[in-house]
């Protein structure tokens, strides 16, 4: 059995809001739904929930619902009895039995077909299920943590996802922020991965030149933390020097006319719903602008507050108050 040996890195407000929920999510009996773009750390988060709680001594069983073909998934989840279908020579237990006492992590739950969705709903309601071809129900004590990288509400609207299952899953839910929404964590994560991969590849300490910091901060990271980890790993393998320059980081061309400014970014992400009043949206856009601006500026001035405040034409104390408001620690931006 694997133990928990990973750290969730991040100090941004939105990330800490999510990680702050882990103790509560780990003791709660209800299902937990983790949403977030690809690579935002959903599986890592699910493991953190499992290994923080009392189930940590029992199995954590991950299953990628998208990777299993429709005709196999029921068998995988619930198992079968002897003779259930041609070729079922022996009884086989499913992942629900395997996870008994522990946690079943249903990754990419959005891709479950409607038949399995209704079976799953029954398990969630009764904590019991019937293996394929069996007449007897089995009871299990399994905590379900599910993850999705698409908005399940939209799938409910288009009738691809059962509404009743959605409500059942969504009792406790957490949305993991994209890396774009927590830019201040980019350099922290980079340093973290630099340390890990320098060690793995038998290299001494590797640091970042200011030019590479600006490049990493300016990239939109559509693949989020997973993409960042890959880029850092590649840089560690390929770069000869111990101070990584901008050209050591191989990033796709970032010159496409980005949706200019935070307003367009919010609009293009389709985040405007009926619940978003003008005032709420305005506040969000301003907050996003402030955070991005402060991060870029601190990065350019390597965490030097006096210089950054001067460049912003703001009084030093007012500038510091702004940093405080966004939970930004200038040390993150020091030249490594």
Ligand X SMILES: Nc1ncnc2c1ncn2[C@@H]1O[C@H](COP(=O)(O)OP(=O)(O)OP(=O)(O)O)[C@@H](O)[C@H]1O
- Please pick, from the candidates 225, 235, 294, 295, the single residue that binds ligand X as defined by CB under 6 A: 225
Nearer to Mg ion, 37 or 288 (CB): 37
Count of positions on this chain that bind Mg ion (CB under 5 A): 1
Nearer to Mg ion, 43 or 98 (CB): 43
The answer to whether 40 contacts ligand X (rule: CB under 6 A) is yes
Give me the residue label for tokens 């379900």.
144
Count of positions on this chain that bind ligand X (CB under 6 A): 16
The answer to whether 43 contacts Mg ion (rule: CB under 5 A) is yes
Q: How far apart, in whole angstroms, are the C-alpha atoms of residue 148 and residue 266?
A: 21
275 alpha carbon, distance to own chain's centre: 24
- Please pick, from the candidates 195, 226, 314, 326, the single residue that binds ligand X as defined by CB under 6 A: 226
Among ligand X, Mg ion, none, what binds residue 74 when CB lies within 5 to 8 Å by partner kind?
A: none
Q: What are phi and psi of 244, to 5 degrees?
A: -80, 130
Q: Which of 170, 159, 335 is nearest to 243 (CA)?
A: 335
**What one-character DSSP code corresponds to residue 109?**
G
Using CB under 6 A as the binding rule, the residues of this chain from 139 to 178 that contact ligand X are 149
Give me the residue label for tokens 């600006």.
214
CA diameter of the chain: 78
The answer to whether 226 contacts Mg ion (rule: CB under 5 A) is no
Give me the residue whose beta carbon is nearest to ligand X. Answer: 41
Among Mg ion, ligand X, none, what binds residue 251 when CB lies within 5 to 8 Å by partner kind?
A: none
Using CB under 6 A as the binding rule, the residues of this chain from 229 to 248 that contact ligand X are 229
Minimum distance from residue 39 beta carbon to ligand X (Å): 5
The answer to whether 41 contacts ligand X (rule: CB under 6 A) is yes
Minimum distance from residue 315 beta carbon to Mg ion (Å): 45
Nearer to ligand X, 13 or 130 (CB): 13
Strand ranges across the sheet with 143-148? 60-64, 103-107, 143-148, 32-35, 172-175
The answer to whether 12 contacts ligand X (rule: CB under 6 A) is no
Q: How far apart, in whole angstroms, are the C-alpha atoms of residue 258 and residue 266?
A: 12
Stretch that binds ligand X, among 33-41, 53-61, 260-268, 283-291 (CB under 6 A): 33-41
Minimum distance from residue 266 beta carbon to ligand X (Å): 22
Among Mg ion, ligand X, none, what binds residue 248 when CB lies within 5 to 8 Å by partner kind?
A: none
Among ligand X, Mg ion, none, what binds residue 235 when CB lies within 5 to 8 Å by partner kind?
A: none
Q: What are phi and psi of 286, to 5 degrees?
A: -65, -45
Burial grade of 139 (CB within 10 A; 0-12, 13-18, 19 or more)? exposed
Distances (CA, A) of 189 to 10, 48, 123, 203: 7, 17, 38, 18
The answer to whether 44 contacts ligand X (rule: CB under 6 A) is yes
Question: For 321, left (φ over 0), alpha (ψ -120 to 50), or beta?
Answer: alpha
Distances (CA, A) of 110 to 104, 174, 209: 16, 16, 41
Nearer to ligand X, 195 or 330 (CB): 195
Helix (H, G, I), strand (E, B) or coil at 103: strand
Q: Contact positions toward Mg ion, by CB under 5 A?
A: 43
Q: Contact positions toward ligand X, by CB under 6 A?
A: 6, 8-10, 36, 38-44, 149, 225-226, 229
């Amino acid at each position: 059995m694997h133990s928990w040996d990973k750290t969730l890195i991040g100090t941004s407000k939105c990330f800490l809001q999510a990680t702050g929920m882990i103790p509560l999510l780990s003791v709660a009996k209800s299902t937990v739904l983790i949403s977030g773009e690809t690579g935002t750390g959903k599986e890592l988060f699910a493991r953190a929930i499992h290994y923080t709680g009392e189930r940590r001594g029992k199995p954590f069983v991950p299953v990628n619902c998208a990777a299993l073909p429709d005709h196999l998934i029921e068998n995988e989840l619930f198992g079968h009895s002897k003779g259930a279908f041609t070729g079922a020579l022996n009884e086989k237990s499913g992942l629900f039995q395997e996870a008994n006492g522990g946690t079943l992590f249903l990754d990419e739950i959005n891709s479950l077909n409607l038949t399995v969705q209704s079976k799953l709903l029954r398990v969630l309601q009764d904590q019991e299920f019937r293996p394929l071809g069996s007449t007897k129900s089995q009871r299990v004590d399994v905590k379900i943590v599910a993850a999705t990288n698409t908005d399940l509400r939209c799938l409910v609207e288009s009738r691809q996802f059962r509404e009743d299952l959605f409500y059942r899953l969504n009792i406790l839910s957490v949305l993991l922020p994209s890396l774009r929404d927590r830019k201040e964590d980019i350099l922290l994560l980079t340093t973290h991965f630099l340390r890990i991969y320098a060690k793995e590849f038998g290299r001494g300490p590797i640091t970042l030149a200011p030019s590479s910091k600006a490049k990493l901060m300016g990239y939109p990271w559509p693949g989020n933390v997973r993409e960042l980890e890959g880029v850092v790993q590649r840089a560690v393998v390929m770069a000869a020097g111990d101070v990584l320059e901008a050209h050591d980081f191989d990033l796709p061309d970032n010159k496409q006319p980005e949706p200019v400014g935070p307003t367009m970014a919010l609009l293009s992400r389709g985040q405007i719903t009926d619940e978003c009043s003008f005032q709420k949206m305005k506040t969000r856009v301003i907050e996003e602008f402030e955070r991005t601006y402060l991060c870029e500026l601190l990065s350019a001035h390597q965490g030097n507050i006096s210089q950054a405040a001067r460049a912003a034409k703001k009084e030093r104390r007012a500038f510091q108050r702004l940093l405080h408001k966004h939970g930004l620690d200038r040390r993150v931006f020091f030249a490594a």
